[in-house]
Amino acid sequence: MKRAVKTTAAVLTIAGLFALSGCGTEAKLGKGNEEVQKASADYLHVPYEKLNQGGNLTLPISVLPEQFNPFQGNSTMAAVDLWYWYNPVVTLFDDNGNWQINPDYVTKVEDKVVDGKTVVTYSLNDKAKFNDGTPFDWKVWEGTWKAGSGQDESMVLNDSTGYEPIEKVERGENDFQAVVTYKTVFPWWKKNFNSVMHPKLAAMGADFNDAYLNNPRPEWGAGPFKIGSVDLKAGNISFVPNEKWWGKPTKLDTVYFRALDDKADMAAFRNQEIDLVGVSNKERLSQLDENTPVYTGISMGENVLTLNSKADYLKDINVRKALLKAMDRKTIMNVRFQGMKFEADPLGSLVLFQPQKGYEDNTGDLGKADPEEAKKLLDAAGWKQAEGKEFRTNDKGEELVVRMPSFSTSDTAKAINDTLMALWKNVGIKLDIQQKKPADYPQIVKDRDFDVLYSAFYAENPFGMADICQFYQQGQTLLKSGLGNDEIDKLCLDSVNAKDENEALKLGNKAEKAAMALAGAMPIMNGPAMVATKPGLANFGSMGFAKLAPELIGWTNPETVTAQGK
């Protein structure tokens, strides 16, 4: 992707869940915070040569996306998950999140500073081609930059901040060398071109927005797998070996995704209908057989509460502040991790996790629960609580009600919803929880049809601070609070154009602190991510920032695998 490092998802797909995890030694009831935070990716490591030839992999997905283009502004996590299987995976990440090129697409990368500008030269694999025969040459880099930078305002992008700092992309010594020159020194150049656009998509202009609507475009893919079948109505899609692939052949015969909600997937796993399932709560863990491999680590997903500043009652910053001050994040975490051996502080940033370099708690005073202060803020905003009344009213007699869609029917989701309802009722705010289908999520978010939204963001790679603009710059599409100002915009841009990573982290944290003070969003937690698999599934589990080449995923003999997945 161009740089949608974090993508909204109301109900994280399981394909997202395995990629949301870090790792370490498994434990059915989780780990202590310190142990998890030291962990890297956790999965059954098997060399390619020792994988079994053949076999099928069946995975759950909450819903097939309407928008299959992950570069487009209304895409969801499901689009990212599926894109991986049939499109170029240009760069890879090891178990500790270290960036590396995929030699099937890029044979060499060199970066240097010339006249105060970062210049990166990519030598491309001349064997690589898209399925329609289009060469994988320097024009792919040029097209991805031009389309991804937002030069054409008719293209609704998930994020343009990664490519805006680029001054030009040129042909190098031959068609299979791309030379990327940035406008200044750019410390986060590794975040770009991890995924690329087919040149036809990049050149489509306004049609870019609809090109992948209900159409995954198999002809524009490339890689070891291709699309085998798609059933949009049933919500199923399969991937099979690609006869046009130039690298190591796949070991799997088929990768199949089934649309399953967050209760049906657990039943399907127990019935051996799917091969992997997320089990990051007590409710799910309790349903596993004792011999089921479980992989555990720190989640790369983060729960966040977004407040819609365009909603009638939330236009007043005092009301937004009151909602946040009344929300005890630690209480929510205790509900979420009940019965699991996990303790952690609430998350203090949307761009970095606690173990990462540069992480700071940027939530300020709004991150500290204080229901009495919340009541004072509501009083100041004109919302009074009459004696004997449960909820506050304004001078028009209207109750203070906030709407929150819920996209899950799990016991954990219900418990969190009930907790929010109780916390806000305590200060006189009525929470109206509106149950929705997972398929409704993209449209509801696009239309901002909510007052408050409890959802999740997913970190695709370790360069979180490089995406500070994607979260907080005015006009970006990720965070749906509708807030921002010119001062924050400048801090964001100064951060991504800083002279080095340390300066970028300093300025980015300053920008996030200023943005958090507007009371438009509050990070809540990430915590552990736990994945259960069928015995013998190799190179696929709780992946954290790790990203392996798709052809490395397969099966080994299950009798060699212990219950802990080792």
- For 8, phi then psi, to 5°, come to -70, 145
Question: Would you say 172 and 121 are in contact if contact means Cβ atoms under 8 Å apart?
Answer: yes
pLDDT of residue 558: 75
Distance CA 466, CA 163 (A): 11
pLDDT of residue 538: 97
Q: How far, CA to CA in Å, does 555 sit from each of 14, 239, 399, 540, 560? A: 19, 16, 57, 10, 11
pLDDT of residue 92: 96
Query: Residue written as tokens 């979180």?
Result: 464
- For residue 147, give the nearest of 208, 73, 190 by alpha carbon: 208
pTM value is: 0.76
pLDDT of residue 340: 79
pLDDT of residue 425: 98
Q: May I ask the CATH architecture of the domain 303-527?
A: Roll (3.10)
Q: What is the pLDDT of residues 546-564, one digit of tens each?
A: 899 999 999 999 765 544 4
Contact partners, residue 190, CB within 8 Å, separation at least 6: 91, 99, 463
Alpha helices of 337-410 — where are they, by DSSP H? Answer: 371-380
pLDDT of residue 560: 59
Distance CA 158, CA 80 (A): 11
Residues of the chain with pLDDT under 70: 1-40, 559-566
Q: What is the pLDDT of residues 283-326, one digit of tens each?
A: 888 899 989 999 987 788 899 999 999 999 999 999 999 999 99
pLDDT of residue 564: 41
Distance CA 5, CA 147 (A): 17
Q: What is the pLDDT of residues 195-245, one digit of tens each?
A: 999 999 999 999 999 999 999 999 999 999 999 999 999 999 999 999 999
Q: Compute the radius of gyration of the chain from its Cα atoms.
A: 23
Q: How far, CA to CA in Å, does 319 sit from each of 25, 297, 322, 360, 374? A: 44, 37, 5, 26, 8
Question: Would you say 417 and 406 are in contact if contact means Cβ atoms under 8 Å apart?
Answer: yes
Q: What are residue 430's DSSP bridge partners?
A: 401
Domain definitions of the chain by residue range = 303-527
Q: Are strands 528-533 and 430-435 parallel, antiparallel or unpaired?
A: unpaired
Question: Would you say 427 and 434 are in contact if contact means Cβ atoms under 8 Å apart?
Answer: no
pLDDT of residue 479: 87
Distance CA 356, CA 230 (A): 39
Alpha helices of 357-450 — where are they, by DSSP H? Answer: 371-380, 411-425, 441-446
pLDDT of residue 298: 74
Question: Quick one: DSSP state of residue 93?
Answer: E
